[in-house]
Structure 1
Amino acid sequence: MFLLFQQLFASVANEWSLFAWLIMGLLILPIVFTFAALGKKHPHAGGTAYFVQVAFGDKVARIVSWLFIWVVALGAPVIVVTASNFLVNGLTAIGVIEQASAQSLFLCAILMLFLLMLFNVFGLKTAAIIQTILSVCIVSCLVFVSLNSQITQPFHLPSTEFQVSKLALSATYILWCFLGIEAIAHLANDFKNPHRDFPLTIIIGIVITLIVYSLISLSLLQMHYYGNETENLNSVINLVKLSLGQHGYTIVSFAGFLTCYISVSLYFVGFSRLLSSMAKQQQIAPIFARINVYNVPYYGLLTAILLTMLMLVAYHYSGLDLEGLIAYANGLFILIYLAGALAGVKLLIGINQGLAILASVTCVILFLSLAEHALFAVALLFLLSIYYRLKSKREARLLFCLCSIQ
């Protein structure tokens, strides 16, 4: 997703987005170390939802699970649109499509959803290692073309007025490049000397990420390859075309499509497993726990496909933009991280508890930075809270009636 968000950072804050990278690199540290400490003290495959359950009970954990579901509903269409744009560009480059258009982008997105359903319902999941290899190749290519553009092209950055609100919003978009970092919670015990090596590994990894992404950001700012949504979607491959020509443009287009395709496929697999787990815990309808002969929770998969398709139709026909979808999903992600950080405040002690407090403050600041885009997350959180409050009262009344009968 870096291939899309890199341009959004520039669009929001221009040259100040480089400063936003540094800020986010510092802010992410207490969040990472908090999840690592939680994973070490409470190892469990449930991750964030489990930490929240231990700290605050089943009802709050269920709300966090539902926030994850809505993240998928908002985030998957962004990846699908990005993948479809790469595919359209690649097909246009080899002459299969005469000219890229919004209609061709929409049709490719629907086709991609059909292929995702077809392959995943039969359990034909693409290995995550392929995604890793493709991502490494693409990022390496981008580093090369970035250095090449900075050496061979006139270097001039746009000059814009500093605005705290735009800098903060840019930082929340940058958070997407670190999403999934909570999985680090499962790795803390894999180090021979975790107290020394684990923090060092995290810091080195984040520094490398900041250097690589900032370098690419610098080239996009230099060439002014950003602006409206169309320019944002095409800016990275235009940067590749500048240095590697038409063949490089074509290769990166198809490689970008494959990377996004695998990402959203894994997204849907994880989503269907989450629904299956919730069904087994009687949090949602039992039907979502059903699996087919290929061990696939097909109702969850079909739900993910349907939700994504509805969002794509809304995006195509109602004037929604990707930036809005990303901001809404960001609000949900930050709430999930805030719940995990608050769980850390309650469950951890000593310096780890201090880091959890700092992580909680960081999440609150990032959430407020979303401004009006945070309202969707607030509304969803309010509705879920009301639903589970009413459900608890109904269950209490039912229990009282049963006791009275007895």
Structure 2
Amino acid sequence: MAEWVRIRDIGNYEGQTVTLKGWLYLRTDKGRLKFLRVRDGSGVIQAVVFKKNVPPEAWEAADKLTQESSLIVTGTVRADERAPGGYELDVSDLEVVHYAEPDYPIQPKEHGVGFLMQNRHLWIRSPRQATILRIRATVIRAIRDWLDSHDFVNVDTPILTPAAVEGTTTLFETDYFGKPAYLSQSGQLYNEANIFALGKVYCFGPTFRAEKSKTRRHLTEFWMVEPEMAFATLEDVMDVGEQMVSYVVQTVLEKHRRELEEVLERDVSVLEKITPPFPRISYDEAVEILHANGFEDFPWGEDFGAPHETTISSQFEKPVFVYHYPTKAKAFYMEEVPGRPEVCRSVDLLAPEGYGEIIGGGQRIASVELLEQRLREHNLPREAYEWYIDLRRYGSVPHAGFGLGVERTLAWICKLPHVRETIAFPRMLDHIYP
């Protein structure tokens, strides 16, 4: 029996007889020839069935194939530059595992986004969506590889929390044995406790924001990696951020260049430029850029919206760090800039091509007194943060960290129109099915 191989490895078997197991994506009949586009989760290949080369029962089975039928095909691998991926399979035998019902909802034609989202469980089978999910897996693995190899320890943080990390208006509340609890907006506060035990840590998991946003950048459930470092400053955050992001982008290029170019039609020359160092500008300088580019009335002190971030990042070929935001525009735990209490030691990394913030972070408050003051200013219940204040009582040190959103980063790398394509089953303001 021929060796079962994956389509992604087919180039290693030129001239050999192999077996593929997968599903029919598309069938084209031309008399005694049938061209089967077969996918197996690792790629797509054209399998050519010539009537005289297969047993009668295999020809008959191929003649009945419907879209998404599962099948096992055996044949000889042949190089062909015209074929998808550069190889074809000359079929010598074919077995149908299951004939799919003939009314498969998603045909090889244009469908509306609403229809595709309602059929997301089937849409992810399409070559484009499967490619995005494979690249997502590479992004996640590259992030972990970089952090693990730079002495960061992975520590899992709670998804159920007793209090807010950021804005209280964006919390999903649930009942926790008669008491209110919330789905986590971030693992950062717990990571700040972890650094006092382990020095450099990161958590990686789902986070939740009950934000009533319908933009192409927003999901209500998304995945975030959050490195945190003891004895670190804002500058360390930028150093780590640019190194990690560059490593992720170059790893994706190394492993998925062909898919980026052929399936997603991505201009990879843009990604080839993503290497350290990244440009760094202050919030003050960013406001000057806005004033010079059509946003003359933008007031100092406001946070940037999508049009502002797009305008700022359009001035650069690489992601750009914007640091030292106004204190009132950022979360309660940001350290002050010495001599400028109205400005905090915060930073965002804005991706090129209009994709906005992919990293948000900064240096954390190290003093008990300033943290207590910020809790009062933000009207946050002190009792819920008593443990967090303890971190400043017992061995406080300068410390810093950031969060990187996987979905926005992936949307930028793949140049996708909306983050809904970056996760298998997206959760949005108006969408939770399937």
* TM-score in terms of structure 2 length: 0.20
Structure with the bigger percentage of strand: 2
Higher relative contact order (CA 8 A, sep 6+): 1
Structure with the bigger percentage of helix: 1
Q: Please say which structure displays the higher CA radius of gyration.
A: 2
